[in-house]
A = this chain, B = another copy of it.
Amino acid sequence: MTQATRVHVAVPNAPYDVHVGEGVLQGIAAATAGADRVAVVSDREVCALHGDLRRHGVDAPMLEFDGGESIKTLGVLEEVLDFCAASSLSRSSILVAYGGGTVGDLTGMAASLFKRGLRVIQVPTTLLAQVDASVGGKTAINLAAGKNLAGTFHQPHAVFCDTGLLGTLSEAEYQSGLGEVIKTALIEGEPALAQLESISRDLGARAVTALSDTVARCVTTKARVVVSDPEERGARRSLNLGHTFAHAIEHAAGYGRVPHGIAVAVGLQLAASASERVYASSTDLGERIGRLLSAFGLPADLEELRSRYSLGAALTANALIEGLGHDKKGRVGAPEFVLMRGPGDIELGVMIAEEELRDLLA
């Protein structure tokens, strides 16, 4: 193990630790030792590439799925719940999620429901899941009407972010995680943003230290925000920076066409432009975001996204504005945006005139 960091998430009633670093997964057997029984839900691809958790001393029933959005349904949730029953889990047992954000969301939801709640340990295996999805206790499945429309708040018992698993991610999946990394630095503030800029080359190359430092830093920021508002009644919505635009992009492109974090990356650029307009101030934020996006090989703006994914016909201003009305996080009515006056200076619930939006999304 090179460098292991422990981030404490001090949510009331059920505080927990996030273990970050290459090789931290070797601690999982000890973390499950207190349970009367253990069961594991895994991503099949991850098991094929890295072996299943028996390698790390977890001797338990295992259920495997192909990762991806299509497993986040009530039908698959029932399979996981039936698996919990077949594994004779009790409220003193532990369910382990070993995979990306989809396996984590699904398994976390099953853990919150089986016998009205047992402990879940998250072992996120994508960058996106390590820096974002695995921490904070949101679980979800999708409904026909939209993404993440049903779920629970159920904080994990522990999280193991083993950065040693990230080397096998496809470039697109890795970049998708980097979108959320940039978002998190913008929420945290200037020092985090400057630090990210200074290591962007190493991080793009998945260098060991850059990777663990970044995941630890993002988890620390996310933990701070989550602790301030565990059930997303206010402050936690700052984590939606860039997401109102991202959801419009995903909606207009057709869900699944653009990886979520890549839509977020471009959404951050749009949020920076929108902020300049709304606050009538000119900052270098858009430029700095653009440089980071380019350094990571992400599309630097909406135009580049359109051409890279051949979505010129789909991502028109009209289609995007229509998509903004479908944002699942906003209240009823007009879309609300999370904007920034500067790094770390976030404002929630901002409305933007349609005319301005049309200009932005042209």
Query: Quick check: which of A108-116, A257-265, A280-288, A348-356 contacts chain B, the rest being far away?
Result: A108-116
Q: Report how many residues on chain A are interfacial, defined by Cβ distance under 8 Å.
A: 35
Please report which residues of chain A, range 89-140, place their CB below 8 angstroms from some CB of chain B when the two chains form the complex.
90, 92, 112-117, 138, 140
Which of chain B's residues have a CB closer than 8 A to the CB of A291?
Answer: none
Which of chain B's residues have a CB closer than 8 A to the CB of A86?
Answer: 145
A169 interface residue per 8 A CB criterion = no
Known: A145-B82, A146-B85. A152 touches B112 (CB 8 A): yes
Question: Please, which residue of chain B has its CB at the minimum distance from the CB of A88?
Answer: B332
Q: Looking at the assembled complex, report how far the CB atom of A106 sits from the nearest CB atom of chain B, in whole angstroms.
A: 13
Known: A92-B331, A332-B88. A117 touches B153 (CB 8 A): yes
- For the residues of A in contact with B, the DSSP-based class is mixed
User: Is B146 touching A113 in the complex (CB atoms < 8 A)?
Assistant: no
Which of chain B's residues have a CB closer than 8 A to the CB of A78?
Answer: 74, 143
A78 to B153, CA, bound (A): 19
A144 interface residue per 8 A CB criterion = yes
Q: Looking at the assembled complex, report how far the CB atom of A144 sits from the nearest CB atom of chain B, in whole angstroms.
A: 6
Q: Looking at the assembled complex, report how far the CB atom of A76 sits from the nearest CB atom of chain B, in whole angstroms.
A: 10
A216 to B143, CA, bound (A): 39
Which listed residue (B85, B92, B140, B331) contacts A149, Cβ 8 A? B85
Which of chain B's residues have a CB closer than 8 A to the CB of A112?
Answer: 152
A36 interface residue per 8 A CB criterion = yes
Which of chain B's residues have a CB closer than 8 A to the CB of A152?
Answer: 112-113, 116-117, 152
Known: A112-B152, A113-B152, A152-B113. A143 touches B85 (CB 8 A): yes
Which of chain B's residues have a CB closer than 8 A to the CB of A149?
Answer: 81, 85, 114-115
A151 interface residue per 8 A CB criterion = yes
Known: A88-B332, A331-B90. A82 touches B143 (CB 8 A): yes
Question: Please, which residue of chain B has its CB at the minimum distance from the CB of A146?
Answer: B85
Known: A74-B77, A90-B332, A332-B37. A116 touches B85 (CB 8 A): no
Other A-B contacts than A113-B150, A117-B153, 8 sampled, CB-CB below 8 A, are A85-B149, A88-B332, A90-B332, A92-B331, A114-B150, A115-B150, A116-B152, A117-B231
